[in-house]
Amino acid sequence: MTSVGRTRARAVEILSLDSTDTRNALSAALVGELTDALSDCAEDTGVRAVVLTHTGSTFCAGADLLDPPHPDAVVGLLRQIVELRKPVLARVTGHVRAGGLGLLAACDIAAATTGSTFAFTEVRIGVAPAVISLPVLPRADPRALARYYLTGERFDAAEAVRLGLLTVTADDVDEALAPILDGLRRSAPQALAETKQLLTARVLETFDRDAADLTALSARLFSSAQAREGMTAFLERRDAAWVV
């Protein structure tokens, strides 16, 4: 069963996360399919831009705790979005958690409905937002971000714009994206590619410098006793042992 839907509209490839039974969690299968789809977009001269969206009420719930991808695969996917020589836009009409915010930050432009919600929930299950920090930290306000990294609190779309995680929020996300997509269609492909490279240079420097260390941190934390307790508590819908 496919986890990523694919359609095209006027040279814009629309990739839709379509694993609603897991709230589009990043499973090994979904990461693999999305990686393949983005590779196809890179090679297809008929694709001028990519929109990453979703079915169901959740854009992405983070890592699939029952079928987690290897951290290296997540790093590879995030870097692929950043390096793709075509603009990638996130279209969100629901909730984004943990690793889903890594996808959001990797995209060049991100739009969400005003009712969308966001949270870095990693600390509540005993891990850290490690590999997703590769695109998140260069693009977000670190002082404002600290609260949500450390507490796992939910925040709304307006706050996500303030943090630098979203470009725009609107009641009608497609209406908000329409002039952006029109602008991309009017732009020369070579110029788009080179301009994107200018914008992503600092993000890619972070990947080059920190990817190995953050991958090791992610693997260490996910294998820890606290993470086992946190993930078990989450799946059993109870408080973890450390909650006071």
Looking at the predicted structure, is the pLDDT value of residue 1 above 80?
A: no
Percent of the chain whose pLDDT exceeds 70: 100
* Separation between Cα atoms, residue 189 and residue 183, nearest integer Å: 12
Query: Is the Cβ–Cβ distance between 15 and 86 less than 8 Å?
Result: no
- pLDDT tens-digit profile of 184-223? 999 999 999 999 999 999 999 999 999 999 999 999 999 9
Phi, psi at 115, each rounded to 5°: -85, 0
pLDDT digits 0-9 by tens, 27-49: 999 999 999 999 999 999 999 99
- Model pTM score: 0.96
The whole-number average pLDDT for the span 217-242 is 96
pLDDT reading at 2 higher than 90: no
Which domains does the chain carry? 1-172+188-244 (3.90.226.10)
Instruction: Copy the structure tokens of residue 213.
Output: 């260390």
pLDDT digits (tens, 9 = 90+) for 85-109: 999 999 999 999 999 999 999 999 9
Mean pLDDT of the residues in the chain: 97
168 strand-pairing partners: 111
What pLDDT does residue 44 have? 97
What pLDDT, on the 0 to 100 scale, is given for residue 77? 98
Please, how many CA atoms are within 13 Å of residue 6, restricted to the half-sphere of its CB? 16
